[in-house]
Structure 1
Amino acid sequence: MPYWAVTIPTHTADGTSGVHVFIVTADRPEQARGRALAKADMPMSLRHRRNAALRLAALTIAEITPRWGM
């Protein structure tokens, strides 16, 4: 099963911005998006980004390909 990097930009009420990156396994990019969003809703993820809001319209997904055997 491929690995995917799902990057979601964030912003806070005071204007601070950042990104939250999730590495997930999935067969397709749509599955990777769903798995990352599920992880983003977990209490540990909310604490990590200090409750910053997610900018879902700017979410990106990239497949992670290993360097060996390619």
Structure 2
Amino acid sequence: MDQDNLTNLRKIAPTDVLGKLHLFNAFTLGSPKDIPDPYYGGHEDFEAVYTMLLAGCRALLPIAGKALRAS
């Protein structure tokens, strides 16, 4: 999901969930950067995206676990 997707989601989302919509990197790593689409790139581009996603998932798992334990 990129900034355009997030903007479109915010236009149609119910008001009570607007605060729950975030870009993956912003939510997990505190970075406003979009995760680029590596489709038209080379091997290095896929590696870079993989690295971003792996770091984000490692940050997300403890957050999700804490939220699940609290519910």
Q: With structure 1 as the length reference, what TM-score do the two structures score?
A: 0.30
Q: With CA pairs under 8 Å and 6+ residues apart, which has the higher RCO, 1 or 2?
A: 1
Larger-gyration structure (1/2): 2
Greater fraction helix:
2
Q: With structure 2 as the length reference, what TM-score do the two structures score?
A: 0.30
